[in-house]
Structure formats: structure tokens, C-alpha cells
Structure 1
Amino acid sequence: VFLWPGQKGPGKAAVAYFMANNYHKPSDDLTQPILWDQGVRFVDANYRIAREIADGAQRPVWNSGDYFGTLYKGPMAGAAVGK
């Protein structure tokens, strides 16, 4: 599961600026400000999603044709499970 916060709302311009001007460039270093409260929100959202999946009645499956699901022979969506 990968959670991407999306490209909407007030953070859109900030994300676009950072990706264009800082991401994987010399300025992408530990002097950048860290908004710890937002990090906590992001981690909490990921935890809640992972917990819902882990506690679900059915095991998760890969999307049909997914590279990693195919590579590791995991259960695919739409395939008979448990055989």
C-alpha cells in the first residue's frame, strides 16, 4: 500500500515548488524545515489504512498483472484464492 497525499489543496504549490527546485538536488538536505505535526498526521493515516487491511476479513491481493504480484507469485485479484 502506498499513500500519496495527492495534488489538491493548499499544499499543491508547495509540493510542485519543492519537486522542481529541491528534490534530489544539493538543496534537498537536512536544513529544510520539517513539519512534525504533518508527519504525525501522515503516519497516522498510513497506520489506520494498514490496520484496516490487516484486520480485514479477507487477505489483500495484488491487482491483476501487477509486476510484484507476478514476480513473487502472489494472489491476484479475480483469481481463485486458496488453491
Structure 2
Amino acid sequence: GSVRHRFATWRGPRPEVDVAATLANAQRVAAYLYERKRIADHIRSCGVELVEEAGNARFVDATTVAVADGRTWTGDRIIIAVGG
């Protein structure tokens, strides 16, 4: 039958949940998060300081990077990877 959600004005036939698609999506998300953690752990195990989600970064000189909150990092080699 028809349903109206108490927090919205949804009207029409009661929506159906695609359980298989929902589970497949949950598995994709879990695999992505596992792989991301595995890569981060590997990078750290190689002695690299990994700073995630630092926001906007800029070089203040040839060996120093600063982010908006005032934190800075200095090193002979600095990698800035931007995500998507």
C-alpha cells in the first residue's frame, strides 16, 4: 500500500529494499576501508609519518609544509597526495 513517512512527505507505493544490493554495497565499503587501513599501516611501518585529512597544505620553504591549523612538517622528502 501507500506510505507516508512521518518526517517527510513521501507518497506512493511503499519502497522496497534491495537486500542483495545493500549487502554488496556494504561489502564494497568494508573492503575499501580495510584496504585503506592496510596501506596506511604499511606506509607507517616503512617509517613514514602519514598525516591524513590535514586540509589545505602549502610549502613555506623548500623543506617545510604547513596546514591551516598551524601544524608544520619538515623533511628532506615530502609527498602530498590529494584524494578524490
Between structure 1 and structure 2, the one with the greater Rg is 2
Higher relative contact order (CA 8 A, sep 6+): 1
Higher helix share: 1
Higher strand share: 2
